[in-house]
Structure formats: structure tokens, C-alpha cells
Amino acid sequence: MSTATSLDYTQQPDNKDLDHIPGEYGLPWVGKAIPIMKDVYATVDDHYKRFGPVSRIRMGGQNGLLVVGGDLYQQVYLDRDKNFSTKMGYAKQLGGMYPDTILLQDFDEHKIQRRMFQGAFKNDAMRGYVDMMNPVMKHHLDQWEHIEPLVFFPSIKKTLLDVGATIFVGMEIGAEADKMSQAFLDSSEGLLGLIRMDMPGLKWHKGKEGVRYLRQLFKEMIPVRRAGDGKDTFSFLCKEKHENGEYFSDEEILNQLTFLLFAAHDTTTSALCHMVYYSAQHPEWQQKMREESLALGKPMMTYDDLDSMKITDMVFHESLRLYPSVPLMTRRTIRECELGGYRVPANTILFLPPTYNHHMPEYWTNPDKFDPERFSPARNEHKNHSFCYVPFGGGAHKCIGMHFANMLAKCFMHQFLLKYEYNTPPNYHPEMLSMPLPRPADGIPLKLKKRG
């Protein structure tokens, strides 16, 4: 794709002329944002049943198209004609807080930035991450013993903040790591600000202040990380080079690292919340996972143990099927194209909710049921269509950290299952949040029973 074309489509406003496509915009400006935030699946299901797999919708001031179904996701994610921009799909959501990240790059630019992460997610690096995260997890799990009830969401959130500080940045648990984590939380919370102005008193401003703090902190660390022998992600990014042999610039590293904290933390927090929720609701699966961990015969997993955790792997994927950590993905068309039999103008926002594909009965048996066996080799329901299961997206932009997320979940669950039995209150049916982070609204109160 030529530079001229790239500049052209990134400078164009969103197309809002979609009246030739069936659908319903909802309220002025807000559109369907409120029902989407309350229940993604129900809102999408209503549109799908009334208007079909492609329908017009409005969310937060953006007119766009709601798109569902394996065939359409395949067309968009594989993007063989280079017609769907990820950069412009997320520009208004994430671009103001995390500009020029790997998610907000298209085509050749995206390929270049993805190269920066090559060393950070290779087997040797991942092997080191396991050794780094296990003691941090143990530290937090030991502290949970006398908390009743343990509210899981804030507890795992704090645990994973410390894991992230250790693995991604190479910081030891302590005051400095806590300050960094708070700046990250401020930046993440800032994305929820309705008024996106960098003015004191506004949530967006506090988020921007958090990003500025992180960038300054990391900028001072780059020379040290580049000269050292650290095994954290930051160190790998600092040592990676362009094809011409030059290091990636400080600006490129800062852009990617600040976003990595955001992208990795919230998604893994959500995934573990649902793994624990469902395995507490289905104690037979909790016990199956525990027996698998007991069979390893060791208190902490190693990297070489990951592939043997077949049952935990099925629970991980089934939890992500029911509640994908990213409930709504977006793209924007670069030029006029056809989707689902409709003419779609250039610069049209596309909303792609993975959760709907994950519940379509043409792909899944009893799709609303928690049934990890559907991911077993005997059934492999996730292979009924290449794009019926897309918690990590697909195509060139498929999540670069998906294996890391799986690894982290297995390492945590192994220690958690060996140390505790856990259950939720009787007749527990919590409200389930869809946005911004899918999870039970009450944080999942757990009763822990220490084992042995």
C-alpha cells in the first residue's frame, strides 16, 4: 500500500451515510452504547434477529455497522484486499491515550512494529517469564489465606499488576512498582472519561497524566535495560533491532510498552475471573483441574509442563468462549467494499463482537452451556469454522500475547488449585458486566478452604 494511500485514509472522517443498510441507531449521539455496555450479547442478538448479520448501529457518537458470523469475520480479519484498517477502527477509542501502538498500525507499519516483539515472545523468553511470575503469584496467594470472603476480582487484579511489573518492566514488588501500577490504572480508567479534554479535574486528564508518568519513568530506564542482561519484556524490546541493524527508537519502545501493560493486564484479569467463576460454579471441573495439577507433583509449574495441562487448557478456552476478554473489536473500511451483500462506503466503522460468534448454534452444541469438553480433541467445536472462535482476533493482528495469556492462566491456576478449594455463595447468580472489562459485577466473593 503506497504512502499516499495511507495518508489519505487516515485523514478522512468516519462515514455516517448508512441509511441504505437495515438497522437501528438508537438514541442521539449515545446510540446503543448503554445497552451494549450492559449486555453485549443481548444487544447484538436483537440486531441479528431483526436485521441480519450486517446492521447499522450507533455507539458513542460513531455510526457504524455491527458485523457477525464466521464468513464475515474471515473476510475482515484476513483482509486479503487490504481494505480494513485497524488503526482507524481504534483511533477514537485508544488513539488519544495510547498513540502509535502496535494495535494502531496497519500493513507494513504494523509488520515493522510487530518485529519489535519477536524476542519477547519466543520460547526462551517465555520460559524465563514462568520462573519470574511463579514467586509473585505465591506471594499473593499466601496472603489470601485469612481473607473471608476473598473478593477475587480486586485480588487477582493486584496480583497481576505485580506480575506485570516484574515480567514486563523488570521491577521488584514494592513502592516504586505500586506507583507505576497506579499510573497505569489511571491511564486505563481515563479511557472511560466522557469528556476527552486534557484539563485538570477530568478523568481523561488523570489518565493522560498517568501515561506521561509512565513514559518518563520508562524513558530513563531504556539505556540501563539496553546495556543490561535483563529477561523482562522491556529489556527484550530495548535490544530488538530494525532490519537495517538499528535499535528501535526510544519513542517506538515507549509507545509499545505503555500499551502492552494495558492490553495484557485487563485481558488476563478478565480471563482468570471467568475461569475461577465457572470452576467454582462447576466443582467437578475444579476437581478435574486440581487432579491434573496434583499429577505434576510440584508446587510450581515450569514452562515444559504447559502442554500437559489439557484440562486447564479446555477450561481456559471455554471461559473465553463464553466471555471473551475483548468484547468488541473494531475496524474501519479504507475503500468501498461489499459485506454480507451490502455496499459499504469507505471510512465506515465496523463493530465486531466475538461473543456472538462464540454463541452461534450453527457452530456450537448448547452454546450457552459451560462445557469445556467442546474443546477436546474428540469434539473440537472451535474448528467448525476458522472464525467461530476469535477471542484473540485473527489475521495479521491476531493477539501477539495469546500464548502468554494461556501460560499465565495455567501457572496461576496450578498454584491456586493446589493451595485452596474455593466456592461461591449458595444460589450465586451475579450480574455479569460486559464493558469495559467482562466480569461478574460483585467481583466474585469466594470462600477459600486451605488444602492439606
Domain boundaries, the chain: 3-450
Confidence of residue 292 (pLDDT cuts 50, 70, 90): very high
- CA distances, 170 to each of 132, 138, 220, 302 (Å): 9, 18, 14, 20
Pick the CATH number of 3-450 from 3.40.50.1370, 1.10.10.10, 1.10.630.10, 3.40.50.10490: 1.10.630.10
Q: Write the CB contacts of 354 (distance below 8 Å, at least 6 apart in sequence).
A: 324, 326, 327, 329, 390, 391
Strand-pair partners of 421: 449
- Ramachandran region of residue 325, left (φ > 0), alpha (ψ -120 to 50) or beta? alpha
DSSP string, 130-177: HHHHHHHHHHHHHHTTT-SSEEHHHHHHHHHHHHHIIIII-PPSSHHH
- The grid cell for 174 is 514494592
| Cα(99)–Cα(87) distance, integer angstroms | 10
- The pLDDT of 123-138, averaged and rounded, is 97
pLDDT of residue 217: 97
Q: What is the mean pLDDT of residues 328-342?
A: 97
pLDDT at 3: 41
Is the per-residue pLDDT at 5 higher than 60?
no
DSSP string, 424-435: PPTT--PPEE-S
**What is the β-pairing status of strands 62-67 and 54-59?**
antiparallel
Query: pLDDT band for position 6 (50/70/90)?
Result: very low
Which distant-in-sequence residues (6+ apart) come within 8 Å of 5 by Cβ? Answer: 334
Per cent of the chain over pLDDT 70 is: 98
What is the C-alpha separation between 394 and 423, in angstroms, rounded?
Answer: 35
| Residue 38 confidence class, pLDDT cut points 50, 70, 90 | confident
Q: Tell me whether the omega of the peptide bond preceding residue 149 falls within 30 degrees of 0, making it cis.
A: yes
Whether residue 227 is predicted with pLDDT greater than 90 in this model: the reply is: yes
pLDDT in tens, 344-391: 999 999 999 999 999 999 999 999 999 999 999 999 999 999 999 999
**The C-alpha cell that represents 366 in the structure block:** 448448547
Query: Is this prediction's pTM over 0.85?
Result: yes
pLDDT exceeds cutoff 80 at 343: yes
Cα distance between residue 184 and residue 136, in whole Å: 19
The per-residue pLDDT for 436 is 77
Q: Which of 7-11, 171-175, 177-181, 310-314 has the lowest mean pLDDT?
A: 7-11
Query: CA–CA distance from 31 to each of 47, 95, 190, 309 (Å)?
Result: 13, 21, 21, 44
In the prediction, which pLDDT does 77 show? 98
CB-CB contact of 66 with 331 (8 Å): no
CA dist 76 and 441 (Å) reads 32
The yes-or-no verdict on residue 7 having pLDDT over 60 is no
Place of cell 466474585: 444
Q: Which residue, 326, 333, 330, 334, is CA-closest to 358? A: 326
Which residues 6+ apart lie within 8 Å of 203 measured at CB? 189, 190, 192, 193, 194, 195
Region 262-279 average pLDDT: 94
Q: How far is CA 267 from the centre of its chain?
A: 4
Task: Give the number of residues written for the chain.
Answer: 452
What pLDDT, on the 0 to 100 scale, is given for residue 225? 96
Per-residue pLDDT at 27 exceeds 60: yes
Can you tell me the mean pLDDT for 74-81?
97
pLDDT band at 2 (very low <50, low <70, confident <90, very high): very low
- The residue-averaged pLDDT of 222-229 equals 96
The answer to whether residue 194 scores a pLDDT higher than 80 is: no
Q: 65 in helix, strand or coil?
A: strand
pLDDT tens digits for range 150-189: 999 999 999 999 999 999 999 999 999 999 999 999 999 9
Question: CB of 44 within 8 A of CB of 66?
Answer: yes
Residue type, 282: H
Region 224-231 average pLDDT: 96
pLDDT band, residue 418 (cuts 50/70/90): very high
Neighbours of 4 (CB within 10 A): 7
Per-residue pLDDT, 1 = 41
Helix (H) / strand (E) element for 256: namely helix 250-281
C-alpha 354/C-alpha 10 separation (Å) is 25
